Amino acid sequence: MNDEVEPSTSSSPTKPAAAATATKDQIFLRARREPFEHGLLPISKLIFSDGTATLGPLKEKLIERSSSLRIDAEGVAEVLQISIDNAGLVLDTLAAVRPSDSDPLVVDEISGVVVGADVYDLILFLYIQSYRRLLPRSHKDSAAVADVWPSTSVFDGFLSALSPLQLVRSNSRRFIPSQADEEAHQLSYLQKHLANILSLLAESVEGEEEESLVMTLERFERLSFLFQFGEKGSDGVSLSQAAPFFANSDPDMPAVHVSATQVHDWILQNITAALEHTAERVPPKENGPSSIGDQDVSMTDASTGSYKGSGTKSISFVEGISKASLVKKASDLKGSSVKVLNCHDSVIYVLAPLRYATVYGCSDATIVLGAIGKAVRVEHCERVQVVVAARRICIANCRECVFYLGVNQRPLILGDNHKLQIPNWFGGESANPTTINPFPLPEAYMTSQQKNHQSLGEIKQALRDLQLEENRKREISSALHVYFKDWLYASGNVRQLYCLQGD
């Protein structure tokens, strides 16, 4: 195994795995988007602006308080000096953005056994709380619309000053960062803070004259929380298998420790190769941002860098639907995530089992999602009805929206929201059998539904009891069809019928 370890030198650096296979299958290192899109919490005590200066001692306190390097909500609350509710929120959010469901923290939600979070996963989670999402360019009339839409907050600095409808009418969507821009910004953030991140994971070598940091295989694999190769983990190739210094390690033998400097150089080279590759593939936006600058909280001992990013192939997008109805089934979607963006005056059905979902910038729409196994985020929406079955949901900066939720955890509401309606978000378990609804319907809706069903039954029975000739029955049937058609047009539901027939 020692022959496989090739120390990195300035004259002969370790060749990036992405560069070695670029012509074959185009696999590049990329940031895992889930921690950045679904894992940021607006809790001031979780944001550390001085990098390892605070997180280093904090890591030692977490280790001391932990049992077998795992820490529960009480330990997190004690060390971070936050409430037990916020500590529980931290652990729930961490579980939702972990790359694997096999971790005990994730299993804990189902089994009810208190296991706690891995200390090093928690440290990485705390570190990225300083990440700031990419800001859109300011709109020239932002001051004029500031009084009709929630203002930018300290935790949601990316929020546009325009409401969803103003955004689409002003043709200003070119000012909004694309998925490619955001993912490149995430990778640039990790590039900037890589040295600090590795120092928190590395171990000090004892017995050396000069202090030296090394990475074990186990600690190196913790980086899979932040990084992965390709869209789906390089078709089963783990981060450690992609690294030349850990590839093909014998699972029955302890892996050789690798210098943290060597790991740093190898990851940095792969990040650079990935950003250069995406910069070549994605042309700059017309009149868009000239660069993807770092807008995160500055930390000490961090190098800078900014690049263009590339889009991703593992997300399904439903974007720009206007005055239409749309149904997306499992066969229509790719990957495990969906984003519903900038849809207006429409009805959207996303009926597929997915892990993550995002609804952004929609107005006057009805959106049905389910089932979402990890997390849903609804953001910057106006007059939208959302019907969703999911494990957890986050609602941020929305106006006059109604949420019908079947979720396992309490909804998380962030930012500047106005006139939201959220009925009972979970009705608990029921001893009676349920055939359709996993949670109770609103009482007024149930009463109206039962009344309509009763009226329908009475009408059907009355028609069956009539002793009429066939031509009279046809006349009655035609009259009913005419009234039903008039109702379809008067209510506007005929549009949905035509749209669904077109699919």
pLDDT, tens only, 345-378: 999 999 999 999 999 999 999 999 988 999 999 9
- Domain shared by 260 and 190, yes or no: yes
Residue 178 has pLDDT above 90, yes or no: no
Supply 462's token pair: 């009355």
Distance CA 144, CA 301 (A): 41
End position of a domain, from candidates 281, 307, 334: 281
Mean pLDDT of 242-262: 75
- Domain shared by 95 and 223, yes or no: yes
pLDDT value at position 103? 75
Which residues does 202 contact at the CB level (< 8 Å), separation at least 6? 213, 214, 215, 219, 260
pLDDT value at position 146? 43
pLDDT band at 503 (very low <50, low <70, confident <90, very high): low
Mean pLDDT of 242-252: 72
Residue 383 has pLDDT above 60, yes or no: yes
**Lowest mean pLDDT across 31-35, 290-294, 347-351, 426-430:** 290-294
Residue 396: cis peptide before it, omega within 30 degrees of 0: no
**Lowest mean pLDDT across 126-130, 308-312, 401-405, 471-475:** 308-312
- Domain shared by 488 and 402, yes or no: no
pLDDT band at 166 (very low <50, low <70, confident <90, very high): low
Percent of the chain exceeding pLDDT 90 equals 40
- Domain shared by 410 and 450, yes or no: no
pLDDT value at position 290? 41
Residue 388 has pLDDT above 90, yes or no: yes
pLDDT band at 501 (very low <50, low <70, confident <90, very high): low
Domains held by the chain: number? 3
pLDDT band at 282 (very low <50, low <70, confident <90, very high): low
| pLDDT tens digits along 143-157 | 444 444 444 443 444
Of the segments 252-261, 303-312, 473-482, which one has the largest average pLDDT value?
Answer: 473-482
pLDDT value at position 352? 92
CA distances to 28, 114, 199 from 266, rounded to whole Å, are: 13, 37, 15
pLDDT value at position 334? 86
Is residue 426 one of the residues assigned to a domain? no
- Domain shared by 385 and 456, yes or no: no
Is residue 322 one of the residues assigned to a domain? yes
- Domain shared by 349 and 256, yes or no: no
More confident residue, 104 or 35: 35
Is residue 196 one of the residues assigned to a domain? yes
Is residue 97 one of the residues assigned to a domain? yes
Q: Indicate the helix (H) or strand (E) that contains 463.
A: helix 443-465
pLDDT value at position 255? 61
pLDDT value at position 459? 85
Residue 336 has pLDDT above 50, yes or no: yes
Is residue 304 one of the residues assigned to a domain? no
pTM of the model: 0.74
pLDDT band at 223 (very low <50, low <70, confident <90, very high): very high
| pLDDT tens digits along 315-328 | 899 999 999 999 99
Distance CA 161, CA 146 (A): 6
Mean pLDDT of 407-431: 80
pLDDT value at position 502? 59
Residue 129: alpha-carbon gap to chain centroid: 14
pLDDT band at 302 (very low <50, low <70, confident <90, very high): very low
- Domain shared by 252 and 113, yes or no: yes
pLDDT value at position 432? 63
pLDDT value at position 359? 96
- Domain shared by 319 and 275, yes or no: no
**Lowest mean pLDDT across 59-63, 101-105, 462-466:** 101-105
- Domain shared by 324 and 197, yes or no: no
- Domain shared by 398 and 340, yes or no: yes
| DSSP string of 385-424, one letter each residue | EEEEEES-EEEES-BS-EEEEEESSPPEEES--BS-B---
Mean predicted lDDT score pLDDT of the chain: 78
- Residue 359's CATH number: 2.160.20.70
Residue 291 has pLDDT above 70, yes or no: no
Is residue 161 one of the residues assigned to a domain? no
pLDDT band at 451 (very low <50, low <70, confident <90, very high): very high
Is residue 489 one of the residues assigned to a domain? yes
Residue 234 has pLDDT above 60, yes or no: no
More confident residue, 345 or 473: 345
End position of a domain, from candidates 393, 414, 435: 414
- Domain shared by 127 and 257, yes or no: yes
Compute the CA torsion angle 381, 384, 388, 391 (nearest 10 deg): 30
- Domain shared by 71 and 203, yes or no: yes
Tell me phi and psi for residue 47, to 5 degrees.
-105, 115
Q: Are 155 and 42 in contact (CB under 8 A)?
A: yes
Domain span holding position 492: 444-502
pLDDT value at position 258? 87
Is residue 437 one of the residues assigned to a domain? no
Residue 11 has pLDDT above 70, yes or no: no
pLDDT value at position 248? 63
